[in-house]
Chain A
Amino acid sequence: KAGVTQTPRYLIKTRGQQVTLSCSPISGHRSVSWYQQTPGQGLQFLFEYFSETQRNKGNFPGRFSGRQFSNSRSEMNVSTLELGDSALYLCASSSGAFANTGELFFGEGSRLTVL
């Protein structure tokens, strides 16, 4: 069974630009969550989608947005990039609704560097 696939793995952007990251969950998984990981802040929850609906949202500004498609693939977008947005962005999928178990399967992440 293929794991969670995130693209791109690495990207460099400049301040003010916008970026879109993609996540393909494990086949059959309908729940996708996004996390931001920075060395000083650990794993910070961004949002969670289940069946194309956002079910939960973390404390991030409106510049961070996401969506989920009917095939469960998800994208997240960050607009007007700031230096502080440099981080590893992790996507995780789970087999049921996230609420059921908390057991997540993570992708390898997309490492964003903002210059």
Chain B
Amino acid sequence: GQQLNQSPQSMFIQEGEDVSMNCTSSSIFNTWLWYKQDPGEGPVLLIALYKAGELTSNGRLTAQFGITRKDSFLNISASIPSDVGIYFCAGRAKLDSNYQLIWGAGTKLIIKP
């Protein structure tokens, strides 16, 4: 089946550093979404991308929909302690006449004290 490879699996960063994570697949998607999950909470949608090449920002977050439609990246600039959590990418594609949402395994962001 379709799979998303999300990397890195985890990141240890200093406060103030920029962060970059990405998702790749061998399949084509028509929507890419980025979610963040805080401990003890459900995931929250950060950014949704609908067009190949689209670059969208949400505060210090920037995400891009890859031109090939097979990848997406998320950047966080000047990280702060509340950025800690797990970031998930998700790609939406039509499969067997149904839309499917395929999820990456997540990137755990940890800020070094």
List chain A positions with a Cβ less than 8 A from chain B: 4, 42-43, 45, 55-56, 90, 92, 98-99, 101-109
Contacts and interface: CB of A to CB of B under 8 A. Distances in A.
Interface of B: 31, 33, 35, 40-45, 48, 88, 90, 92, 98-101, 103-106
A103 B48 contact: yes
Contacts of A103: 33, 45, 48
B88 A99 contact: no
B43 A106 contact: yes
Given A98-B99, A99-B99, A102-B99, A42 B45 contact: no
Given A55-B98, A101-B31, 14 more contacts: A4-B42, A45-B100, A90-B42, A98-B101, A99-B99, A102-B33, A102-B92, A103-B33, A103-B45, A106-B42, A106-B43, A106-B44, A108-B41, A108-B42
Contacts, number: 51
B9 to A, nearest CB: 11
15 contacts: A4-B42, A43-B43, A45-B100, A55-B98, A56-B98, A99-B99, A101-B31, A101-B92, A102-B48, A102-B90, A103-B45, A104-B35, A104-B45, A104-B101, A106-B42
Contacts of A107: 42
A56 B42 contact: no
A102 B31 contact: yes
B105 A42 contact: yes
Contacts of B99: 56, 98-99, 102
Among A43, A103, A104, the one with the most B-chain Cβ atoms within 10 Å of its Cβ is: A43
A92 B43 CA distance: 9
Contacts of A43: 43, 88, 103, 106
A105 B45 CA distance: 7
Contacts of B100: 45, 56
B77 to A, nearest CB: 24
Contacts of A4: 42
Nearest to A106: B42
A32 to B, nearest CB: 13
